[in-house]
Structure 1
């Protein structure tokens, strides 16, 4: 006597739920991978004083070795600026900020060409400005009208920073002309570098 076997054929409803379960298993395994590719952080624990929201810097007329220009030239050239402002004098801490901005630019590796170190001054003897430009090259050095610079610099003041930490800071302006973050002259370069690396990556 021959034993007969019958092939089992699941009905349509069973097939549907089997496929749903299979897709759910794939989703569980693929979600972390997809998230890693798609996630782009918009906030981070910063070392410097972050401007939130980041303000657009007002226009400012400048005079440099190549004649008259505007601070907006960096935005037009799609460049970031490490900015130092000196009004009436540039003492030890001011020079330290210029040095830090130049060194931090050099530390950015592949992002180096996206950055400029900038000194804007007023009421400094021409010989002092020339000496600073030579001492800390490459740095873009510009003169501004004293009254205009005084008003313009007011927008650089970060909220919540003690008064004794407001002088001789250096500022980071992105390629859209937005004031992003600032640091005191004695900021730790390696910690600043981490901030800048994350900012540059998040605002490509």
Structure 2
């Protein structure tokens, strides 16, 4: 008696092309949803002109400069950490020596007030003072800005990362870093704090990151 051979297929089942297309569309949609907040913020400043044609007050940094891997020391905890680990919030940065002259004090004051004036959005913003020497900070300044994180940093390495404008120096500016860790803006020397606040408020409004 002859034996009937089983003609059924073996191996993996065939993949439905329509199902593949749906899966690809879902992955693309997920990517778009995740990237949308950051993309919206950059489109707001690099492509579209907000408020009837007015541009940003701060100078946009092109090309992007990510947070460097240089090691800094936290004055409060004494711990060292790479600057690249600070991403996740909007960072307002001032860099000065510990002596902190009048311009330095003004920047610290402006950053504190600009952050406070963001209302409920202020938790998305962190103020940083990058101290470029090992000297002690005067007690009066130390006690006046308890919410400003103070980090000790090598001045040469910092100067290689932070740009300047028109013959100015790093200590003349307030800088803004986005939550993805990219240096985004540099505000001019003797900047108008109300205009810095306006720029930051727009970014917080149009971006869900941070």
TM-score, normalization: structure 1? 0.68
CA–CA distance in structure 1, aligned partners of residues 150 and 130 of structure 2: 6
**d(CA) in 1 for partners of 2:140 and 2:151?**
13
Measure how far apart 1:90 and its partner are.
2.3
TM-fit CA distance, 1:154:
2.4
Alignment correspondent of 1:157: 163
Q: 1:109 to 1:90 in 2, by over 3 A?
A: same
SS of the residue corresponding to residue 54 of structure 1 reads strand
Q: Is 62-71 or 103-112 further displaced after alignment?
A: 62-71
Question: Is 1:111 paired with 2:111?
Answer: no
Instruction: Specify the SS of the correspondent of 2:172.
Output: coil
Dislocated runs of 4+, deviation >4 Å: none
Q: Deviations over 1:125-184 (max 9, x none)?
A: 2243x543322221101112x3xx3123222114xx211475421111111111111213
Tell me the residue number matched to 2:195: 191
**Partners of 1:171 and 1:181 within 8 A in 2:** yes
Shift of 1:185: 4.9
Q: Residues 156, 127 of structure 1: CA spacing in aligned structure 2 closer, same or farther, 3 A cutoff?
A: closer
**Structure 2 Cα separation of the partners of residues 196 and 141 of structure 1:** 21
Q: Among 179, 186, 190, which residue is 2:183 paired with? A: 179
Is 2:129 aligned against 1:126? no
Question: 3-state DSSP class of the match of 2:69?
Answer: coil
Q: Is the 8 A contact 1:94 1:185 kept in 2?
A: no
Instruction: Supply the distance in 1 between the matched residues of 2:177 and 2:206 (Cα, whole angstroms).
Output: 14
Taking only aligned residues, the RMSD between alpha carbons, in angstroms, comes to 2.2
Q: Distance in 2 between matches of 1:54 and 1:92?
A: 31
Runs of at least 5 residues in structure 1 that lack an aligned partner in the other structure: 1-39
2:207 matched to 1:203? yes
- CA shift, 1:89, in A, is 4.5
Structure whose CA Rg is larger: 1
List gaps (5 residues or longer) in structure 2.
1-39, 50-54
* Aligned partners of 2:72 and 2:82 also within 8 Å: yes
What is the total number of aligned residue pairs between the two structures?
Answer: 157
Match of 1:85 in 2: 95
Whole-angstrom CA distance in 1 between matches of 2:98 and 2:156: 10
TM-score computed with the length of structure 2 as normaliser: 0.66
Going from structure 1 to structure 2, the CA distance change for 1:86 and 1:185 (only over 3 Å counts) comes to same
State the match for 1:42 in structure 2: 44
